[in-house]
């Protein structure tokens, strides 16, 4: 099986735009050990619903920085039973639907941000009918000014699979023992190698668990998208796979 990273294109044909606002999310942290103030961009679970929590508690799941690390951990563990097993939950993890303003023309598949894939309903259903695995579309609440806005679904992508150590910097420092922040960045896409031993066998679309902004599709996914004519504003880069 071949694997591809999903990438945006420099001059998209459509003009999709939307903001990052989301209903709920873990706050960022100020780590008491490494002193970094940080959060992630791509650890999002749009199917997770926190509306059962009291409103004062829901307000804590917002885009802000939590200086009390123990309080961050409490908020994280309160959500853990609601997210898929094995998910890490980093600072800034998002929950619930996208809610911000949106404008422009959306194609069948939209990768306006390289770490977030939106689909219109019909393309999603046709790709599902192809037998692709792991296509979980979640309703968005993006706000359009125009009448008859498109029905956009955000793909909930599980973090699975890792990069092979051969493509990572040899002198990379160990993660922070408290917040586990890496403190170094992913190599450029042209240098990525996947670790074959870590790749999922049961998903055709996922994100890398060690670099959440990287969305990976299998050959089956890419073939179906191309055959159905949905490869408009995204491109695919085949990544080498190395056994470990």
Asked if residues 183 and 94 have their Cβ atoms less than 8 Å apart, the reply is no
Residue 165 structure tokens: 């150590």
Nearer to Zn ion by Cβ, of 31 and 98: the residue is 31
Nearer to Zn ion by Cβ, of 73 and 125: the residue is 73
Cα–Cα–Cα angle for 97, 45, 13, rounded to 5 degrees: 65
Q: Is the dihedral of CA 232, 209, 84, 202 positive or negative?
A: positive
Shortest reach from residue 39's CB to Zn ion, in Å:
12
* Using rule CB under 5 A, residue 53 touches Zn ion: no
Cα–Cα distance measured from residue 108 to residue 118, given in angstroms and rounded to the nearest whole number:
8
Q: Of residues 165-184, which lie at the interface with Zn ion (CB under 5 A)?
A: 176, 178-179
Strands 152-155 and 3-8: unpaired
Count residues contacting Zn ion (CB under 5 A)? 6
The closest of 200, 199, 196, 117 to 152, measured between CA atoms, is: 117
Shortest reach from residue 31's CB to Zn ion, in Å:
3
Shortest reach from residue 35's CB to Zn ion, in Å:
7
Shortest reach from residue 30's CB to Zn ion, in Å:
9
Shortest reach from residue 181's CB to Zn ion, in Å:
5
Q: Which residues pair with 113 in a beta bridge?
A: 116
Binding to Zn ion by CB under 5 A, coded x per residue (else -) over 6-35, reads -------------------------x-xx-
**What are the residues binding Zn ion (CB under 5 A)?**
31, 33-34, 176, 178-179
């Amino acid at each position: 099986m071949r694997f591809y990273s999903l990438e945006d294109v420099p001059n998209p044909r459509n003009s999709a735009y939307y903001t990052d606002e989301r209903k709920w999310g873990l706050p960022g942290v100020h780590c008491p050990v490494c002193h970094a103030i940080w959060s992630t961009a791509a650890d999002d679970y749009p199917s997770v619903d926190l509306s059962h929590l009291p409103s004062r508690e829901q307000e804590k799941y917002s885009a802000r920085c939590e200086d009390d690390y123990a309080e961050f951990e409490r908020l994280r563990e309160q959500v853990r039973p609601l997210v898929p097993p094995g998910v890490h939950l980093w600072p800034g993890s998002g929950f619930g639907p996208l809610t911000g303003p949106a404008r422009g023309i959306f194609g069948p598949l939209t990768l306006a941000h390289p770490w977030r894939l939106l689909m219109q309903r019909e393309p999603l259903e046709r790709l599902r009918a192809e037998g692709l695995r792991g296509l979980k579309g979640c309703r968005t609440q993006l706000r359009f000014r125009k009448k008859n806005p498109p029905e956009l679904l955000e793909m909930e992508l599980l973090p699975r699979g890792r990069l092979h150590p051969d493509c990572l910097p040899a002198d990379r420092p160990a993660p922070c023992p408290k917040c586990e922040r890496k403190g170094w960045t992913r190599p450029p896409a042209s240098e990525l190698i996947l670790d074959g031993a870590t790749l999922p066998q049961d998903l055709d679309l996922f994100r890398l668990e060690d670099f959440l902004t990287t969305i990976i599709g299998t050959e089956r996914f890419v073939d179906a998208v191309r055959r159905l004519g949905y490869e408009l504003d995204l491109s695919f880069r085949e990544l080498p796979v190395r056994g470990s």
